[in-house]
Amino acid sequence: MKLFTDKGNQHSLKILVAAELAGISLEIEHVDSAAIVVPFLKRNVLPVLEVETNEYLFSANAITRYILATVGKDSEDITVSTWLEWESTDLQAALSSYLPVLYGGGKADSQKLQPHLSKLDNSLGGAQFIVQDQLSAADVCLFAALYPLYANSKSCFENFSNLNAWFTKLHAEPPFGASVAKVTEGKGSSSLKASILAQPLVNTLPVARSVSNEKGKSSKDKENSTTEEVVAKEFSLEEVRAAKETFLTGKKVAPKPVQRNHPLLPRKDAKNVLITSALPYVNNIPHLGNIVGCVLSADVFSRFCRIRNYNVLYICGTDEYGTATETKALEEGLTPQQICDKYFKLHDHVYRWFNIDCDHFGRTTTPQQTKIAQDIFWGLHKEKHLLEQKVEQLKCEDCDRFLADRFVEGTCPLCNYDDARGDQCDKCGKLINATDLKNPRCKICNRTPVVKSSDHLFLDLPRLESRLQSFLDKSTTEGDWTSNAKMITSSWIRDGLKPRCITRDLKWGTPVPLEPYTDKVFYVWFDAPIGYPSITANYTPDWEKWWKNPDEVQLYQFMAKDNVPFHSVVFPCSLLGCGEKWTLVNHLIATEYLNYEDSKFSKSRGVGVFGNHAEQTGIPADIWRFYLLFIRPESQDSYFNWDDFVLKNNSELLNNLGNFINRGLMFLEKNFGGLVQELKLEQLDCQLLAAVSQELKQYVSLLEKVRIKEALRHVLNISRLGNQHIQVTQPWVLVKGSPEEKSRAGTVTSLCVNISCLLSVMLHPYMPDTSKTIQEQLNASADVNVLTGDFVCYLEPGHKIGTPKPLFAKIEQAQADQLRNQYAGKND
Ligand SMILES: *[C@@H]1O[C@H](CO)[C@@H](O)[C@H](O)[C@H]1NC(C)=O
Ligand SMILES: *[C@@H]1O[C@H](CO)[C@@H](O)[C@H](O)[C@H]1NC(C)=O
Ligand SMILES: *[C@@H]1O[C@H](CO)[C@@H](O)[C@H](O)[C@H]1NC(C)=O
Ligand SMILES: *[C@@H]1O[C@H](CO)[C@@H](O)[C@H](O)[C@H]1NC(C)=O
Ligand SMILES: *[C@@H]1O[C@H](CO)[C@@H](O)[C@H](O)[C@H]1NC(C)=O
């Protein structure tokens, strides 16, 4: 007998233990994890036992019993079968979603696993073996199933003393210990990783009993044998009937997509949505965390609004003024304007590559910026919201300039570290005041600066506080503010608002128009948010119809959490105090941070993937978008992890979504000449319609609230439901049967193709290229790109689809390993 297995396969452990117990020696052949060993199986299954030439067993549990039975050691006890079935369904389902994350280096959540461990622990009591104090296949198979947990952490069964005692005892027995050594080659958990990551996911949906395909059985019987288990009792007859009705008749009343004609302006008859993404700072290349937090999130939401037929304007651009640009210019030996031009091009290119579809991508260094910023300033001045104060600052007399914090270095006044920066000490981490540095040095000429005082203008935030508070009360209750945005804002206000300086002694900025401050510029936090209206003004001279129209426009602003106070407190105060009625933020959407593998993105250390790298990897933009949105740091920080990227790419995109769409289309192409068939909906199909409708409704209501990451889960749910429907109805069997059965196959496939059409629309905000490809393969008209919240049938009988092709390719582990090394930063 010969065992075919990939290296480190934990299921082969079952077989090796059984062979040891039986005293049988097996010939082992190591094959690649993707190898197809059994010629008549299309998918690869490992391990496989070749019992005789061309006779195969390919269920590890069955093989275990078979081997034990050859020496009369397999127990007939029915409880053994029950445990083995439990192992292969319930336990493996929980493990198959847990182990790949654990071994892939992600944050594995063991919650779903705990009840299973607890069940086994209780059942064992203090017994030595699982069934009747006798070693059986149940012990062998459960031991092997749980071994990867133990290999990863010896203390994993700590809370389950019976389980722990049972496991430890077996592990010490030679047949078990020796087999573990064979599988892991003495290398512990690391030897299991590749195999675990390569194994297909066990479907965790409720599985229906197999459908009978006996000839002559009426379709009615089939219905009865399957419907209940699939979507058990979730939907009332009413819901099912309504879903069917909507599906069949909805197309007639469905609206057509609204054309996008520039310049877009608010309309009385539409929901007018104004969307901004935090303006990326121009002096650097954005990393993945910047991209997902701002431009990409805003892009998903604006694409969603467009397929909802809302009247959307999405504005973005680069923030170009300020000290950081001057610093960068000095570093690169260019003028600030040259730096801006250079990096503007880079940003523009990166966002185009990511398919960020804003209506206008502008910049802040324009005459419109000067005009609008100065108008707001004069408004604040006229309304007496500005104060004058003296500020002590370091000035380098040699360079003849006041030194911004980042232009000063010196000795930390707190810990005496001699290379502290002007705003913070890298050694003790404390924030410091540049004027408190001992032995300060000008970073440009290395000479000693002096303390000078200079007059500056301050925005009197305390005077605007009550107006701000009533605006916030209304906006945060009526709008969708993320909870971090609300928390950060209220903590700012709780700590007390202080006047904030709005001027700087710099050259590179919007000039202050008031004497005697005309040699100064506006401070960047005052200036930058004015970029939103000024970029709009570069798009259309009617920009005020968006920005001074709070009654007809809903403003959504996207940003990372560090930007919240400027958008929720400072910018609204500027607008509230300037004497005009501005459109103020209605929905403030802030993300947490995305980290890279185990650390922070760092440009200087070269850690992480930056915008321009993503393109260089050769991985398509849609795949990047999908993964970044799948792990979007929505309510907590998240981690970009290469292994997890590969796993999600291959499991969710390839095996779930891509597989479903390709299966239906290929089947229609092969068996029905690509023609959508007459739809004779049976109860089971209507149940599916109801389930799909429910997922769609959840998707719509989540995206309306900008819950981008969660909504994506429901897209994937639909293809999972579709895959399950195909699995249960088995059209490939039906199509070979009677004419009724063949027609049934036509219904099932045509329904799946219609679901693919719905998926193409739901995917549009996340993966626009893929959405387009699916629609090309469906030969669907552009009219399908509207989401009303109802699932309606768009592809009528007789519709001819296009050419089906696989949507996604597999990402190989080797490619991911190579990319991880490339972006891991410099080694010391
Ligand atoms: C920095 O120094 C100024 C002037 O001495 C003072 O008003 C301010 O509170 C200090 N800031 C911090 C963060 O210590
Ligand atoms: C659909 O997605 C939600 C959210 O991820 C999940 O809680 C639910 O169990 C899923 N349903 C199915 C049928 O997969
Ligand atoms: C799509 O829906 C149409 C409309 O009923 C239906 O006739 C056709 O068979 C369906 N095709 C699919 C793919 O369901
Ligand atoms: C696409 O669909 C249209 C309308 O149903 C049909 O006229 C056309 O022949 C189809 N195209 C292909 C390539 O089958
Ligand atoms: C993900 O899959 C796509 C196709 O689905 C493939 O082109 C790409 O290389 C894969 N990327 C990664 C990182 O695995």
For the stretch 730-771, pLDDT in tens is: 898 999 999 999 999 999 999 999 999 999 999 999 999 999
Ligand 3 binding site (Cβ under 6 Å of any ligand atom)? 248, 676-677, 679, 750-751, 753-754, 793, 795-797
Centre a 10 Å sphere on the Cβ of residue 359 and count the other Cβ atoms it contains. Answer: 18
Residue 391 β-bridge partners: 454
Q: What is the pLDDT of residue 521?
A: 95
Ligand 1 pocket check: which of 393, 408, 412, 433 to mutate, most ligand atoms within 8 Å of Cβ?
433
Q: What is the pLDDT of residue 206?
A: 31
Could you state, in order of their start, the residue ranges of all structural domains in the chain?
2-198, 272-375+482-591, 655-800
Q: What 3-state DSSP class applies to 800?
A: strand
Q: Collect contacts of 509-516 with beta carbons under 8 A, ≥24 apart.
A: 509/321, 509/322, 510/321, 510/369, 510/370, 510/373, 510/374, 511/370, 511/374, 512/377, 512/457, 513/374, 513/377, 513/378, 514/377, 514/381, 514/457, 516/455
10-residue averages of pLDDT along the chain (828 residues):
91 94 92 78 76 79 88 83 82 83 79 89 91 91 94 88 94 94 87 80 34 33 32 61 80 83 94 96 85 95 96 96 85 92 93 96 96 98 95 87 83 89 77 86 89 93 96 96 93 88 91 94 92 98 98 97 92 96 98 81 69 85 95 89 82 89 93 91 88 92 96 95 90 92 94 94 97 95 85 72 78 76 63
Ligand 3 pocket check: which of 793, 794, 799, 800 to mutate, most ligand atoms within 8 Å of Cβ?
793
* Domain 2-198: which CATH number of 1.20.1050.130, 1.20.140.10, 1.10.287.3240, 2.130.10.10: 1.20.1050.130
CA dist., res. 819 & res. 609, Å (int): 9
Q: Which fold has domain 655-800?
A: Isoleucyl-tRNA Synthetase; Domain 1 (1.10.730)
Cα 286 → chain centroid? 18
CB-ligand 5 contact for 649 (6 Å cutoff): yes
Q: In this structure, are strands 48-52 and 2-5 parallel, antiparallel, or unpaired?
A: antiparallel
Q: Where are the alpha helices (DSSP H) in 389-527?
A: 461-478, 483-494, 524-527
Residue 450 β-bridge partners: 395
CA distances from 642 to 292, 479, 720, 821 (A): 16, 36, 24, 10
Element (H, E) at 318: strand 311-318
Beta carbons within 8 Å of 237's beta carbon, 6+ residues apart: none
Ligand 3 atom nearest 750 alpha carbon: 13
Q: What percent of the chain has pLDDT over 70?
A: 93
Cβ(312)–Cβ(484) below 8 Å: no
Q: What 3-state DSSP class applies to 440?
A: strand
Q: What is the pLDDT of residue 234?
A: 59
Cα 30 → chain centroid? 36
CA dist., res. 591 & res. 685, Å (int): 39
Domains 272-375+482-591 and 655-800 share a fold: no
CB-ligand 5 contact for 623 (6 Å cutoff): yes
CB-ligand 2 contact for 717 (6 Å cutoff): yes
Cis peptide before 797 (omega within 30 of 0): no
- Output the residue whose Cα is nearest ligand 1's atom 12: 433
**Tokens for 666?**
């290929």
Dmax over Cα atoms in the chain, in whole Å? 101
- Output the residue whose Cα is nearest ligand 1's atom 11: 433
Ligand 2 pocket check: which of 629, 651, 717 to mutate, most ligand atoms within 8 Å of Cβ?
717
Q: What is the pLDDT of residue 232?
A: 35
- Output the residue whose Cα is nearest ligand 1's atom 8: 433
Q: Which residue, among 496, 465, 469, 502, has the nearest Cα to 386 in the 3D structure? A: 502
Whether the pTM exceeds 0.75: the reply is no
Ligand 3 atom nearest 793 alpha carbon: 2
Q: Which residue has the tokens 């092969």?
A: 670
Ligand 4 pocket check: which of 800, 801, 803, 805 to mutate, most ligand atoms within 8 Å of Cβ?
800
Q: Which residue has the tokens 């105060």?
A: 573
CA dist., res. 137 & res. 65, Å (int): 6
Q: Where are the alpha helices (DSSP H) in 354-403?
A: 367-382
CA dist., res. 247 & res. 268, Å (int): 31
272-375+482-591 has CATH 3.40.50.620 classification: yes
Distance 229 CA to ligand 1 centre (A): 69
Element (H, E) at 181: helix 174-184
Residue length of the chain? 828
CA dist., res. 604 & res. 599, Å (int): 13
CB-ligand 2 contact for 725 (6 Å cutoff): no
